[in-house]
Amino acid sequence: MSALFEGHLLSWLIAVPALGIALLAIVAERWIRPAALVATLLNLVLALRVWAGFDLDETGLQFVERVEWMPTFGIQYAVGVDGVSILLVLLTTFLCPLCVLGSWEGITSRLRAYMMLILLVEGAMIVVFTALDAFLFFMLWEVTMIPMYFMIVLWGGPERSAAGLKYVIYSLIGSLLLLVGILGMSLQAGTFDIQSLAEHTYSEGSQRWIFAALFIGFAIKLPM
């Protein structure tokens, strides 16, 4: 049991928000806020456990987990953390309980859905920050667009419908450019493994358009 837990800490970090969503779907109305808070705090504790076991003297990836997902296409479930991504995971798990607490009294309508969306964002962002496979990264990056859209149109201000439409349009443009850049790298390197993509040698022409696609795609999504 200990090996199942200790050897898959990052997977547990991803699973806890999913389990929290399932719990929120069935708990009574009065337990929605406490259940969401417990789920986010539990993930913060797990993130601190990862931090405690992180070797600061090691420059490579740690807590790596790899499982073949779609081997025909070179796609796998692969996660891990380095000195930068672990800080982003800690930041995510620290902010999510604050989001729950900050909306404790402010959100009264569709409370169950709101808390479920917070947990969905948390789980997706943890995958984004730990993904070692470009396809996995892209898919979960796009998943974050779904809860963000509903948060805008359901709990936004007076112009929330227009804001939601603009969000979708800009997100789709950025997503298309990201997909073009990722597929461009993967087709040339023959893999979606991010480390292999980084080490692959691309032609000068390919470098230009791949960089442009990724840069513009990320730049569009960054303010969101």
Q: What is the structure's pLDDT at 168?
A: 87
Per the prediction, the chain carries an average pLDDT of 91
CA–CA separation, 145 vs 220, rounded Å?
A: 13
Identify the helix (H) or strand (E) that includes residue 42: helix 32-52
Whether the pLDDT of residue 85 is over 80: the answer is yes
Of residues 74 and 115, more confidently modeled: 115
pTM (global) more than 0.85: yes
Answer whether residue 98 shows pLDDT above 80.
Answer: yes
Determine the average pLDDT of the residues in 149-154.
89
Mean pLDDT over 84-101 rounds to: 96
Q: What contacts 36, CB < 8 A, 6 or more positions away?
A: 20, 24, 100, 115, 118, 119
For the stretch 55-66, what's the b/e string if a residue is b when 16 or more beta carbons lie within 10 angstroms of its beta carbon? Answer: eeeeeebbbebe
Residues 15-71 have pLDDT tens digits of 999 999 999 999 999 999 999 999 999 999 999 999 999 998 888 899 999 998 888
Q: Cβ distance 213 to 180 under 8 Å?
A: yes
CA 145 – CA 108 distance, rounded (Å): 23
What is the amino acid identity at position 28?
A
Residue 108: predicted pLDDT: 85
What pLDDT does residue 223 have? Answer: 61
Q: Average pLDDT of 102-124?
A: 92
The domain tally of the chain equals 1
**Domain residue limits at 92:** 2-221
pLDDT at 112: 94
117-149 per-position pLDDT tens digit:
999 999 999 999 999 999 999 999 999 888 988
What are the tokens at 85? Answer: 């991504």
Is the pLDDT score of 224 beyond 60? Answer: no
Calpha distance 204→201 (Å, rounded): 9
